[in-house]
Amino acid sequence: MSETLRRGRLAVLASPRSRLAGRNDVTLSELSKETFLVNPRSLAPGAFEGLKLMCREFGRFEANVAESAVATTMALGTDWQPIRDGTAIALMAETTARAVQADGIAVVPIQPPPQYVLALAWRHDEHAAAAHRFLAYLRRYRDQHAWITDHDVAPLTYDHGPSPAPNCADHESA
């Protein structure tokens, strides 16, 4: 079973000196000559392949990808220097990129499509109380933080499975 937790518009992170900086938005195909900075493939192979597929399907080009030398999830840390110096760009959820507000980085929205989708998947026969508490927690967090309220995207839908949450109280004593 799976359920969408968050979806929204992507943005390009670029040097303020980039041809992209100052634009209101760009299309994915306009990024065809750029080098995409990504975390090492070994850290997130699905994200790596997803970026390449997204560029092929929505932008009609083969992405030139440079793996960061540092396997970090620290947004815009020192391993992001290629973005600041203009030798690479990166993609990130627009809402996250704007929240980070990093010095020396321009944030330029990408016209949909594509969009990002963050989904949670679990086995349909999962009965562990901890798993159901975790699902309930994520749903509350998503709803409290308005994760599905981006203006340029479709409203929340449940992909597969229960709508709304399964009755987690049934599993509390399990």
Same domain, 124 and 162: yes
Strand-pairing partners, residue 106, are 14
Residues above pLDDT 70, as percent of the chain: 79
Instruction: State residue 31's pLDDT score.
Output: 97
Same domain, 127 and 99: no
Same domain, 126 and 81: no
Instruction: State residue 76's pLDDT score.
Output: 55
> Can you tell me the distance from the alpha carbon of 70 to that of 58, in angstroms, rounded to the nearest whole number?
28
**In the chain, how many domains are there?**
2
With respect to residue 1, please indicate whether it lies within any of the assigned structural domains: no
Question: Average pLDDT of the chain?
Answer: 81
pLDDT in tens, 59-90: 999 999 998 876 554 555 667 789 989 999 99
The enclosing H or E element of 8 equals strand 2-14
Residues above pLDDT 90, as percent of the chain: 41
The last residue of one of the domains, among 98, 115, 132, is 115
The last residue of one of the domains, among 115, 130, 146, is 115
Same domain, 31 and 77: yes
Q: Count other C-beta atoms under 10 Å from residue 81's C-beta.
A: 14
123 — phi, psi (to 5°)? -70, 140
Same domain, 69 and 123: no
Same domain, 85 and 136: no
Lowest mean pLDDT among 27-41, 56-70, 130-144, 160-174: 160-174
Same domain, 53 and 81: yes
Same domain, 88 and 31: yes
Instruction: State residue 155's pLDDT score.
Output: 44
Residue 159: give the domain boundaries: 117-171
Same domain, 17 and 64: yes
With respect to residue 2, please indicate whether it lies within any of the assigned structural domains: no
End-to-end CA gap in the chain? 20
